[in-house]
Amino acid sequence: MSRLFKRIGLGLLITLASALLLLFGSLLVDGLLGPGRLDNLTNMRVTAADGTEIRAYLAKPAGEGPFPAVIMLHEFYGLRAEMIGKADALAQEGYLVIAPNVFRSGTTNWIPRAIYNVITADPAQIDGDVDAAYRWLAAQPDVQADRIGVMGFCFGGGTALRYSLSNPALAATAIFYGQIIADPAQLARLSGPVLGIFGGADQSIPLTEVEALRQGLEVAAIPHEITVYEGQPHAFVQGVEEIAQGGPQQAAWQQLLAFLQRTLKEGPAAGVTPVAHSASVRGEIPWRYLFWLALSHAGHL
């Protein structure tokens, strides 16, 4: 009997070791393929402070500027076609949009690699890459430098909020179910209004945290519009084709358009000048967040 147990134990160990080997092997292979996937998704590069070229997609409105502008930040996969479609949709509304790929390893469709991207991400490097996109926009003659906003989805939503705390020249911030910063002392550093879109059934961001964000913004006296779409999971606003079908994701997109209209098109020009990028606000990423994040995105595959 003891020999049987030993064989079973050995078999389980071999199976576990093989699974781990396959997992790490797939991460390695996917990482090697990641940069190549950007070839058909990007049409420009901006240079970060350390000299690295950040690949990005630029969507421009028809006609002559200057235009209000938006930095659009991707989910934990990296830049994908779904984000390109949203950038083009905003350009059709009159915004010049830059969507940088802030994961220098490229982009992926493989959830384990996406999780690896998040847990190994360096907030200072990522914020610096977003800042490079901001500085590029602010220097363009067809961009209204005092009407630049930042927005993001999922990982990009949390990044947009964090980056906004370090750049007092931003005119607006839009967060789609991103990781929350609720400390009023930090939120008081925001220079423009905040839009927050969340799903009522999002297991990765509890409603208590959404309420903490709302209260933090109120204490900090930051204009804000926080909306919870009841029954909606994480990442419920998908591609432009799905948005066009109506329902909560179309309502959320229309809410974004109204917010950008008020803050970037109609809002008072602040006459600001680009400012130096300051230190990142590094927050811990809860494992609960990563677990539910993976399950939520798996449901959309």
Q: pLDDT (tens digit, 9 = 90+) per residue, 114-156?
A: 888 888 889 999 999 999 999 999 999 999 999 999 999 999 9
Beta strand spans in 211-276 (E): 224-229
Indicate the class that CATH gives domain 40-298: alpha beta
Q: Is it the case that residue 282 has pLDDT exceeding 60? A: no
Domain boundary assignment for the chain: 1-33, 40-298
Residue 212 tokens read as 């903490």
Alpha-carbon span 217 to 183, nearest angstrom: 8
Q: What is the sign, positive or negative, of the torsion defined by CA atoms of 274, 61, 253, 243?
A: negative
Between 278 and 246, whose confidence is greater? Answer: 246
Non-local CB neighbours of 286 within 8 Å, separated by 6+ positions: none
Question: Would you state the pLDDT for residue 259?
Answer: 98
Question: Would you state the pLDDT for residue 135?
Answer: 98
Question: Would you state the pLDDT for residue 87?
Answer: 98
Alpha-carbon span 10 to 111, nearest angstrom: 29
Q: Which of 291, 301, 279, 286 is nearest to 123 (CA)?
A: 279
Radius of gyration in angstroms for the set of CA atoms belonging to the chain, rounded to a whole number: 20
Q: Which of 124-133, 194-203, 211-220, 284-293 has the lowest mean pLDDT?
A: 284-293
Q: Is it the case that residue 233 has pLDDT exceeding 70? A: yes
Q: What is the sign, positive or negative, of the torsion defined by CA atoms of 66, 68, 73, 79?
A: negative
Question: Would you state the pLDDT for residue 267?
Answer: 72
Task: Kindly tell me the number of DSSP H helices and DSSP E strands found in the chain.
Answer: 10, 8
- % residues pLDDT > 70 (the chain): 77
Confidence band (pLDDT; 50, 70, 90) for 240?
very high
Q: pLDDT (tens digit, 9 = 90+) per residue, 41-100?
A: 999 999 999 999 999 999 999 999 899 999 999 999 999 999 999 999 999 999 999 999
Question: In this structure, are residues 235 and 200 in contact, taking their beta carbons and an 8 Å threshold?
Answer: no
Q: Is it the case that residue 269 has pLDDT exceeding 80? A: no
Alpha-carbon span 267 to 277, nearest angstrom: 24
Between 5 and 88, whose confidence is greater? Answer: 88
Question: Would you state the pLDDT for residue 179?
Answer: 93
Residue 185 tokens read as 């002392």
| Core vs surface per residue 189-211: b (16+ CB within 10 A) or e | ebbbbbbbbbbeebebbeeebbe
Average pLDDT, the chain: 86
Q: Torsion over CA of 146, 99, 91 and 280, rounded to 10 degrees?
A: -30
Average pLDDT estimate for 168-183: 97
Q: Is it the case that residue 1 has pLDDT exceeding 80? A: no
Alpha-carbon span 198 to 234, nearest angstrom: 8
Alpha-carbon span 269 to 68, nearest angstrom: 11
Question: Would you state the pLDDT for residue 147?
Answer: 97
